Amino acid sequence: MAEDWTFEALDAEIDDIRHRVLQHGRFLASYFVGRDTEAELMLLAAATQEPLLFAGPPGTAKSDLVLKFVESLGLGGEDYFEYMLTKFTEPSEILGPIDIAQLKDGRFRRRTRGMLPEAKVVFLDEIFKSNSAILNTLLTIVNERKFYQDGAPEPVQLRLLFAATNDIPEQSELVALSDRFVLKVETRPVKERHFEALIDAGMRTEASRALSQRPWADGPASFIDFLKLKRYLDLHFAESGRLGDHARWFPPAIFAELRRIVRVLETEDQVYVSDRKAVKIYKLIRARAFLHHGGAVQAGDLRVLRYVGNRRAELPIVEEKVNSLLGLDG
């Protein structure tokens, strides 16, 4: 169980874990064309167990990225749940059907085997098309990592949530769910710039699947590595909070830079950053710094800010703006 891992025990192997995880990212990216950013963000999302949203048109490898990532971690079967949502999707399709036998006894319980509550990694396509019944359940699952069976909360196994959408809605009902995805990345088609490489990579994947081969299934890192990494980060943040040594891990000058960039995004581009999101951003930056170089946050770690936009139209603007601000010091 993750709770049994102590800081000391993890500290002994954390550098190896870190290197394996980074290598895993490169390994995953090698099976795609022009998806290095997505792969890097998936690592970060997995290391921090923060949800990641892909926003892009159909056919831009969103589902394939998640599937290969899952398989590369050695997960499969009931550990992974994937579904495409529509406005007609009923809760039973993702949470499991009602157990009729128990219903006859007056208990409202669902049979969750192979469904979302028991999956460690979940991918929900067209997540914002879901209706309010599913929406409310998802929010509880994402926020509290539990869902209700017969009125009583039960923990879910969910560790990694990936989602995809063609557009990010602005209705107030859906903003709550959208805000849970601190990281949103725009997946753009690559065929204009990498046509030949895309064909090659795509055909290799097709051939592999046809021959039931999965060369990507043997990645450098395992799911356990990611769990240990997350545990280590949690313990590290807790210790850091206890000692009050945030400045050691997030130098004041870089922290000031973070604050400036967030302020500029809010003021000049009307990008809303909620209090919750600000805390999450800080955590993600610290995690990225640890993952990539094991030390204090550097200016380059602030590139996480590229992906904090809210609306679809904001995503490229925020990315470009953050790039330009981070590039000011050469």
Using CB under 8 A as the criterion, which residues of the chain lie in contact with another protein when the complex forms? 87, 131-133, 135, 171-173, 253, 256, 259-261, 263-264, 267-270, 316-317, 320-321, 324-325, 327-330
Cα(244)–Cα(51) distance, rounded to whole angstroms?
Answer: 28
Rounded to a whole number of angstroms, the minimum distance from the CB of residue 91 to another protein is: 11
Q: How far is the CB of 122 from another protein (least distance, A)?
A: 21
- CA–CA separation, 105 and 147 (whole Å): 21
Angstrom distance (rounded) from CA 218 to CA 213 = 11
We find the least distance from the C-beta atom of residue 132 to another protein, in angstroms, to be 4
Q: How far is the CB of 29 from another protein (least distance, A)?
A: 26
Using the structure block, give the residue that is written with the tokens 């994402």. Answer: 142
CB of 324 to another protein, least distance (A): 7
Q: Which is nearer to another protein, 120 or 129 (CB)?
A: 129
CA 197 to chain centre: 26
Q: Which is nearer to another protein, 155 or 316 (CB)?
A: 316
Q: Nearer Cβ to another protein, position 87 or 276? A: 87
What residue type is assigned to position 101 of the chain?
A
- Closer to another protein at the Cβ: 60 or 130? 130
Residue closer to another protein (CB basis): 77 or 252: 252
CA distance 180 to 280: 10
Contacts of 239 by beta carbon, 8 Å cutoff, 6+ apart = 7
- Do 58 and 190 contact (CB within 8 A), yes or no? no
